[in-house]
Each structure stands twice: as structure tokens, then as C-alpha cells.
Structure 1
Amino acid sequence: MSAVTITALAISTSVVIASLVRRHFIDSVRIGTRLVFPYRIPLDKHICILGPTRSGKSTLVRAMIKELSRKYVVTVLDWHGEYAGILPTLPTSAIKIELNRLPPKLLTEILGFGLGLNEPSMYMLYRIIRDGNYSSFNDLIGKIDNYLVNTRTEAEMKAAILRRLEYSASNIGSGIVSIDRLMEGDSIIDLSDLTIIEEKRLVSSLILASMYMHYMRKGLIERGVRHILIIEEAQNLLNADESGYSIIDHVIMELAKYGLRAVLVSNVIPKSSLLKHCNVVLFKINPELLGDEISISRDLIKRLGEMSAEEVLVITNGNITRVRPVRSTMSPKHIVVRKLEIRSRNVHTIDEDVKKKAVANNNEGENNNGGTINQGNSNINNGGNNGIATVSKALNLVGVDNAKNGSSMSDDSPFKKQVMELEKEVINLRDRINEIERILEADEKIIEKILELDDKLKNNQA
């Protein structure tokens, strides 16, 4: 091998190593490999993962969840229940959304977006709720129902608002786990128990707004990253209006200054202007299938044609890089609460000793049913241990795992902890072995190319 070839290889290697070191010491997450080196995407912006159905987005997101949950608080809005059990999982019926903590103007915008209200209906809704005297959807529906109208047009708008609100929000936000409690630890919010898309849009929008107000009340501007929010089927939240901007875009962009980064997973390229503020991971897609409203550059079209189905294009700060994405088949390790019905509001009066005993009994039951709780028909009240156990378990699913030890259970058994630590080590070893195998395969190809180049140089010199 000639000195020129060796020098060129040394320079390129030093550049790659310097880039890897820089990426390692900033907030970033590994999304794949480039040549033989791990490729990490920075978390200086939100991330948008785009690709058609069954292109590999979910397996990439699983791998990202695995790494991100070791360092940050991770919250997942799971539209179809495909990530259930990877982190502590709660249904939407367990989430308590406190409407009185949302200012009337913000709540009006969120309800208008989630329910698809037009401008006159949104203005009427604001006039009804602007005094802020509400705490639940039942209060909200009551205020609207009791509002006196003067014209037939107002009566029709009032009826339309009530019909949509009762249809979409009658079973939302009456749980026991508050947004503040939810944000203390890793969690997956399973939206698959909601049957219509309007319900899912409304719940997702309300959770985003509640997170925004949570950080806004704290008022702590964060230059780094503290919280990762992963939103599946994000195209349902990023359908912008004619201006290319919506209240959801505003909330997501504002959350960035408080240290929250959103990972938006979509099977279409949204029209939202939020894309300009994201690092993009683009799976292979046929540009001819894009609508006339979506325009992409000729360079990007060319690169999409050159990449294979097993590669993605990573677009960061104007640079386009071809990367082979990491795949993960994480198996569920945490408890999944499928459904939670609450018929009593006096849960806070339960004696603590009784709650501890109920949790212990509930843990024993989980060992027999594979770690899944299905309480669709249970009554929760102060006199029933089954109901108390369900409440206690739901409360302990989130906010306990701040140490990132991979466990959502409150059992202090040393033997159980040792078993879980061994399981984690085995999983890590398997991942390392797979990574080494991929690197060795790539090394063989590189060595073959170097030998070919060396032979060509020798022939040219001869």
C-alpha cells in the first residue's frame, strides 16, 4: 500500500474519530451505523422519523427507547399499543387531566384542534369557559349546556360543540395518575383503548398542553435535555392549517426550551412547518407517491433513489447522511395495565398499611398471570382490597424509577433484584455480540476494497 493511500486513510479515520468523540459528549442517541462506526443523531432539535408502513420505524424507535431511558425520562404516546410493556404502561383511563390547570385560551385552542371546531365555534367556546370555573370534562359540558344563547346560529354552534365534546371526551381525564406524577418516571400511555381518532387526538393534545403548563409553572429553562416525548402516528397531530402552523406546533416548539425533545413518528411527510425545526430520519419512500402539496429537492429525490431499503437518510443542519438503522426486538419487561375503571373518588383516604398489604397481594397475583392486570370490571372503593390493589399498582407504575434501574416493581426482594440484573446483563451481552458481528462483516468488506485499491495502484505504477 502506498504512502499516499495510508495518509488518506489516516486522515479520514481521524476525522471520523473526532466526530464520534464530539457526538459522544453531547446529548444524542444512536440510530444506526455508518460504515463500521455507530452513528448518533444529536438532540439539539426535535427528531422526526418518517417512512411508510412496515418500513422499520417501530424497531428503530424501540432501540431508541432502550438507550434513551437509561439517561432521560421517556414518555411514549402509543396509538396502537405496539410498545406496551417495554416501559411501565398505563391506559388513558388511568391518566388524570386537570383542566383547571390549563388557561382558558390554551384550553380553547386545544379543544378546537382536537374536536375540529371552526373559528366561530372556538370563539363561542372561549366566551363560555373564560371565567375558568371548571375542573373536569363534566364541569365543562355542564357549563356549555347551561349557557344561554340568543340566536339560532348560536344554538346550532352550541349543539355542535356539545355533541363533539360528549362524543369524544366523556371518558377522558378521570384517572388517578396526574401529569405531574407521570413525568417523574418512564411511562408508555396506551391509546389503543380509545376507539376513534378524535379521542386519540384530543387526549394527545391535552397531555402535550399539560406537560407544557407543568414546565411553564416551574419556569426552569434548560439548555440540555431532561425529557424525551415519543409520539406515534404524529401525522394526526401535525395536520397544520393554511398557515402551516397549529397550536400543537407551538406547544412542541415551546417545550424544547424546557429540555423536552419530541420524537415524532409519522408514516407520511406532514405539511407542518415544525419540520424546519427537526432533525429528520427518512426511510426509503417513493417520491412519486407524495402529494402535490409536498415538495422536496432534486438532491433528496436523487438520494432516495440511490439508497437501499435497509438504509435511512439522516438530515441534520442541511447535511444528508446515509445510515444503516439499528433494529431492536425488545420484549416486554414491565407490567401492563390494560383498563382501569374508577367509580369512587375517595381513594386518597385509604389507610397506608392497607394499601401496602394490597400491593403485596397484587404482586403475588401478577406472578400467576404473566404480569398483566386486566381490571375492566373491578369496582374501586374504600372497602375492597382488589380495588385498592389496582389503585396502588397504578400509582407505583410511574415516578418510582428515577434511578433508571430498569424495574417498575416495588418489591425489595434481593433475589428478584439479582435476577433482573442478570437479565439486563444478558441482554446487553447479546447486543454487544450482534454489534461485533456487524462490525466484523463490515471490516471484511473494507479490507477487500483496500486490497483492490492497492492492486490497482501497483498496476498503475507498473
Structure 2
Amino acid sequence: MWILAALALLALLLLTGEGVLVGLRWGVPVFLPLDRHVVVLGPTRSGKSRLAKKIVRRSGLPALILDWVGEYDLGLRVDARHLRYDLRGFDKKLLAEIIGLSLNLNEPSIYFLYRAVRNAEVKRIGDVLEALESFLVTSRAEVEMRAAIARRLEYIVEVLERGRVPLDLLLRLRRTVVIDLSRLRLYEEKVLVSLFVLALLYDRVQKEGVSRQPRKLLVVDEAQNVIKRGDVVRHLVFESAKFGLRVLLVTNEVPPDDVLVHSYIIITRPHMMYKLQTKRSALVIDNKVVEMKIV
């Protein structure tokens, strides 16, 4: 029965001819539609990044790529240490959530950070630290909480305050841009930059209005480090689709179920932990599995 379903899906893809070529089945092209987000799933060294680069090239869309380990040799390449962040107008609750999730803060600490920045003028990341240090505390517990947050935030601010390349300018470009995260030493720095990019890009595409057609790709390499950061992150990913942004999540871990429901899945190499009935590379659309050779 599943063979008939796979054949029907393959026939549909071939008849429409829409999407990006990703593989061959029995010598016949298999296309990936771009009307949803995409998860590229596979174990280490199974060709995930190589396939992601092919999808970017073949889509013809401008792409923003978060390159965790320095594998993407496409377009304009920018060292993440050189980015400058304009946080004017940034939602304070979202700002506190993003910083808190990046630093693995608990809920009370995130709320404390929000209280500190709620009425402060925040133009850059350093302003967050200044608002935190000047925030009036009323108990010893709050003194200790403020010190703990400031200590962890200070390490990141020292790195991210040096940039001169406006991130907002890169988000406006109609070409492929690679943000190289590999030069950042701390894991928390990479996560924070990734979440800032996601949030600011979402804000930009939202202002451009609703679009049923894809207008831009966001490629998140090592996406397991980002997507598991909480509901606010997944909300930004889900909602961005209605504004023409397609997110390509490149990961070696199976994402949460709500991510899978909103995405097409490409498996570069099967693994017992993925719990999908396929013996080779495959495209999964609406629970239908089309085995293929990736090209």
C-alpha cells in the first residue's frame, strides 16, 4: 500500500514540476516543493550541508545561512564577530527571552532580565548589560540573581559589541549571505547570534507582508542547537512561512513533532533513531516516503 502512495506522490511531483531537484528515483527526477519549511535530517558526515547548498543554488532565492562550522562557500561571507545589532524597537519580552534561552537562564531569571530592560533604552547589546547593572534590587536573592546574569552576559557582550557590519543591512540584501559562526568560541554566542538573526529576519519579512510564494531562504546549520531552545523559537519559525520565508533546518537530531508537522523532511542517510521506514535517502511529504538517490 505504501508503494502505491509513494508512486502517487512521485507522479504528483513530476506533473507539477514545481520545487527544487533533490534526487532521482528509478532515474526520474524528484522535486522538493518550497511551500513549507524543510528539515534536512541525517547523521554526521551524511551530506546534509552539501545537499543544503544544492537547494540554495537551485532554488534561485536569496538565502541567509547560519554556518556553525564553516562549511558553506556561497555568496557573501561575513564573520559573525563583525556584526552590529540595532535593537531599537526590539520587543523587550522577546529580547529577554532570546538572551535567557541563549544563556540557559531559568524562568525567574528571564523575568528578572525583562524587568531590568522593560523601561530602558536599548540600542545595542551593551545597553542590556548596563540596564541590568543599574536595575534597583530589593533583596539579597535579587542581588545574587543580577550578578549571576551579568557575569554570563558580560562574556558575550565583549565579543558582540565589536562589530561594524550592520545586520539589518545584510537582511535587506537580495543575494545569498553566509554568517560564519565558526569563529565564535562560546556555544552561547553562536546560539544568541542565531536567535537574533531569526528574530530580526522575522520582523523584516513580516513588514514586507504576507506572501504565499517563497521570497527568501534561511538555512540554519546544526539546527538542533537552536530549534530546541523553546516555544518562542519555534513560533518564529512557524509564523515566518506566511510571510514568504522558508527555513531550512539542517540537523542530526529529529526535531520536535510540531516542527515536523510544518515541514518537508529529507533524510540523507537512514538511522535507527529516526524511526522512519526507509533503507536509503528519502523525501518525506505528509507521511509519505519517497526513497531516492540524492543528486
TM-score calculated relative to the size of structure 1: 0.59
Of 217, 231, 237, the residue aligned with 2:220 is 231
1:92-118 deviation per Cα after TM superposition (whole angstroms, max 9, x unaligned):
123221122311011111111111111
Residue of structure 1 in register with 2:290 after alignment: 321
Alpha-carbon distance change, 16 to 32 in structure 1, aligned in 2, over 3 angstroms: closer
Q: Is the 8 A contact 1:103 1:132 kept in 2?
A: no
Residue of structure 2 in register with 1:265 after alignment: 250
State the distance in 2 between where 1:318 and 1:279 align.
Answer: 9
Q: Check if 1:222 corresponds to 2:211.
A: yes
Task: Classify the secondary structure of the residue corresponding to 1:254.
Answer: helix
State the distance in 2 between where 1:223 and 1:64 align.
Answer: 19
Residue of structure 2 in register with 1:437 after alignment: none
Q: Check if 1:74 corresponds to 2:74.
A: no
Q: Which has the higher strand share?
A: 2
Q: Which has the higher helix share?
A: 1
Residue of structure 2 in register with 1:56 after alignment: 47
Of 33, 39, 42, the residue aligned with 1:42 is 33
State the distance in 2 between where 1:62 and 1:238 align.
Answer: 20
Residue of structure 1 in register with 2:123 after alignment: 135
Task: Classify the secondary structure of the residue corresponding to 1:141.
Answer: helix
Q: Which residue identity does 2:98 align to in structure 1?
A: I
Q: Is the 8 A contact 1:314 1:321 kept in 2?
A: yes
Alpha-carbon distance change, 20 to 110 in structure 1, aligned in 2, over 3 angstroms: same
State the distance in 2 between where 1:40 and 1:274 align.
Answer: 21
State the distance in 2 between where 1:177 and 1:222 align.
Answer: 29
How far is the alpha carbon of 1:19 from its aligned partner?
3.8
Alpha-carbon distance change, 280 to 14 in structure 1, aligned in 2, over 3 angstroms: closer
State the distance in 2 between where 1:178 and 1:215 align.
Answer: 17
Which sections of structure 1, spanning at least 5 residues, go unmatched?
Answer: 1-12, 327-462
Residue of structure 2 in register with 1:344 after alignment: none
Of 95, 102, 114, the residue aligned with 2:102 is 114
Task: Classify the secondary structure of the residue corresponding to 1:83.
Answer: coil
Q: Mapping of 1:46-445 within 5 angstroms?
A: 46-68=37-59, 71-84=60-73, 86-172=74-160, 174-183=162-171, 184=173, 185-216=175-206, 218-240=207-229, 245-271=230-256, 273-287=258-272, 290=273, 296=275, 300=276, 303-304=277-278, 307=279, 311-326=280-295
State the distance in 1 between where 2:11 and 2:36 align.
Answer: 23
Task: Classify the secondary structure of the residue corresponding to 2:242.
Answer: helix
Q: Is the 8 A contact 1:137 1:170 kept in 2?
A: no
With CA pairs under 8 Å and 6+ residues apart, which has the higher RCO, 1 or 2?
2
Q: Which residue identity does 1:160 align to in structure 2?
A: A
State the distance in 1 between where 2:85 and 2:10 align.
Answer: 47
Q: Which residue identity does 2:271 align to in structure 1?
A: N
Cα-Cα RMSD: 2.1
Q: Is the 8 A contact 2:84 2:165 kept in 1?
A: yes
Percent same amino acid at aligned positions?
A: 34
State the distance in 2 between where 1:272 and 1:168 align.
Answer: 32
State the distance in 1 between where 2:239 and 2:12 align.
Answer: 32
Q: Is the 8 A contact 1:97 1:207 kept in 2?
A: no
Alpha-carbon distance change, 83 to 15 in structure 1, aligned in 2, over 3 angstroms: closer
Q: Check if 1:29 corresponds to 2:14.
A: no
1:124-145 deviation per Cα after TM superposition (whole angstroms, max 9, x unaligned):
1111111241111221111111
Query: Whose radius of gyration is greater, 1 or 2?
Result: 1
Q: Which residue identity does 2:261 align to in structure 1?
A: K
